């Protein structure tokens, strides 16, 4: 049965990469219908709402969202829409796979790791309090329930996909109580998965190890802030943000988006790499059971990357977003 999904077009390069991805999905024969909405900073300026009510209603109904990046003002202005969406729909598991592609030259080979980022709490609860003009307090929240479910998902994923190891990333040496709780829950849950190796690393050491010896990592699970930072780092290991997809899963809702932002520096220049959003769409197709279509798209992308004739500038090519997209469609 045809599945109707909600699509948010977003800001900056969002509209360009969304158009490219929808074109490829159609060419690949994805059994999907789309309800497409403009959301984000532009929409806010126009209509005073970041997300129009109809867009929320559509996601409420369809329960699956393909979302392109949204600009969030730094320092002042509205709260991040991404954080709001993740919280409102309880999209607690942010899963970010970083896998080397032979065709993309980087100093690192055979990277194949997945970051499981807790997506609903930690410092991202956004509670900041002005104590006096020289002091601000920010609240970091770690709960047993939220930690348990993301850690459990990481181990379940490891079992289901034949992975060997889960590493907990934390700063429990300093944040003894909050990250300490996360870490102790990790080792409690690890006992239920004796077939999976479990270890832990402090987040700063993790960053160093990731650029010295990324192959040692397999599945990684961590609180929200470290997951945000570490996953941008892992994108650098495989060729940049243009290649890092993600799924944001909850019990009832699922949202798929690239890890990167709205890239205002290249918006409108027709050079954005749509692969991260396209692979996010593949994760969505797999979530919906359309594995054959996802497989077809992944194969076509691999072929185009391997040929190297139609790469976007972030991958040291000269192709436009549209030329890259046409090359993929030609392979389909």
Instruction: Indicate the residue among 58 and 261 with the shorter CB distance to Mg ion.
Output: 261
Dihedral over Cα of 202, 85, 268, 322: its sign: positive
* Helices of type H across 104-262: 144-160, 178-190, 203-212, 224-238
Q: Interacting stretch for ligand NAI, rule CB under 6 A, among 68-76, 106-114, 149-157, 207-215?
A: 68-76
Paired with 201 in beta bridges are: 169
Instruction: Indicate the residue among 169 and 263 with the shorter CB distance to ligand NAI.
Output: 263
Instruction: Indicate the residue among 118 and 228 with the shorter CB distance to Mg ion.
Output: 228
Q: Which does 242 bind (CB under 5 to 8 A by kind): Mg ion, ligand NAI, none?
A: ligand NAI
CB of 198 to Mg ion, least distance (A): 26
Q: Interacting stretch for ligand NAI, rule CB under 6 A, among 143-151, 181-189, 255-263, 295-303?
A: 255-263
Ordered strands of the 32-37 beta sheet: 32-37, 3-8, 64-67, 254-258, 245-249, 93-99, 112-118, 219-222, 165-170, 197-202
Residue 72 is a binding residue for ligand NAI (CB under 6 A): yes
Of these, 62, 100, 262, 280, which contacts ligand NAI (CB under 6 A)? 262
Residue 15 is a binding residue for ligand NAI (CB under 6 A): no
Of these, 120, 224, 248, 273, which contacts ligand NAI (CB under 6 A)? 273
305: Cα within 13 Å, side-chain hemisphere? 21
Q: Which does 239 bind (CB under 5 to 8 A by kind): Mg ion, ligand NAI, none?
A: none
Nearest residue to ligand NAI by CB is 261
Instruction: Indicate the residue among 103 and 229 with the shorter CB distance to Mg ion.
Output: 229
R_g of the chain, CA atoms, integer Å:
20
Residue 200 is a binding residue for Mg ion (CB under 5 A): no
CB of 276 to ligand NAI, least distance (A): 6
Residue 153 is a binding residue for Mg ion (CB under 5 A): no
Contacts 24+ apart (CB under 8 A), 213-216: 214/108, 214/111, 214/113, 215/109, 215/110, 215/111, 215/112
| Pairing relationship of beta strands 254-258 and 112-118 according to DSSP bridges | unpaired
Cβ atoms within 10 Å, residue 255: 26
Residue 228 is a binding residue for Mg ion (CB under 5 A): yes
Q: How far is CA 162 from CA 156, 159, 195, 232, 326, in A?
A: 10, 5, 10, 25, 35
Which residues in this chain contact Mg ion in the complex, by CB under 5 A? 228
Which residues in this chain contact ligand NAI in the complex, by CB under 6 A? 13, 69-72, 82, 241-242, 257, 260-266, 272-273, 276, 314
């Amino acid at each position: 049965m045809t599945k109707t999904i909600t699509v948010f077009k977003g800001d900056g390069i969002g509209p360009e990469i969304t158009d490219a991805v929808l074109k490829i999905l159609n060419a690949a024969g994805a059994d999907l219908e789309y309800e497409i909405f403009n959301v984000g900073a532009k929409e806010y300026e126009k209509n005073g709402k970041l997300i129009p009510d109809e867009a929320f209603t559509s996601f409420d109904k369809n329960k699956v969202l393909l979302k392109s990046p949204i600009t969030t003002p730094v320092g002042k202005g509205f709260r991040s829409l991404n954080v709001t969406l993740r919280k409102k729909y309880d999209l607690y598991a942010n899963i970010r796979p970083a896998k080397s592609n032979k065709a993309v030259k980087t100093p690192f080979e055979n990277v194949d790791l997945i970051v499981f980022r807790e997506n609903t709490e930690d410092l991202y609860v956004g509670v900041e309090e002005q104590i006096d003009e020289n002091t601000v307090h920010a609240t970091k929240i770690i709960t047993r329930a939220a930690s348990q479910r993301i850690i459990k998902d990481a181990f379940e994923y490891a079992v289901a996909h034949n992975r060997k190891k889960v590493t907990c990333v934390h700063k429990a040496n300093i944040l003894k109580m909050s990250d300490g709780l996360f870490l102790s829950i990790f080792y409690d849950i690890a006992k239920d998965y004796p077939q999976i190796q479990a270890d832990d690393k402090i987040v700063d050491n993790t960053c160093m190890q990731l650029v010295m010896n990324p192959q040692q990592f397999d599945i990684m699970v961590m609180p929200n802030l470290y997951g945000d930072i570490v996953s941008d780092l892992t994108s650098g290991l495989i060729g940049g943000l243009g290649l890092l997809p993600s799924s944001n899963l909850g019990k009832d809702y699922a949202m798929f988006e690239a890890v990167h932002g709205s890239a205002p520096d290249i918006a409108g220049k027709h050079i954005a790499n749509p692969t991260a959003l396209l692979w996010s769409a593949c994760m969505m197709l797999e979530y919906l059971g359309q594995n054959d279509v996802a497989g077809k798209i992944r194969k076509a992308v691999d072929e185009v990357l391997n040929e190297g004739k139609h790469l976007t500038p972030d991958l040291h090519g000269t192709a436009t977003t549209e030329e890259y997209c046409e090359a993929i469609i030609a392979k389909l």
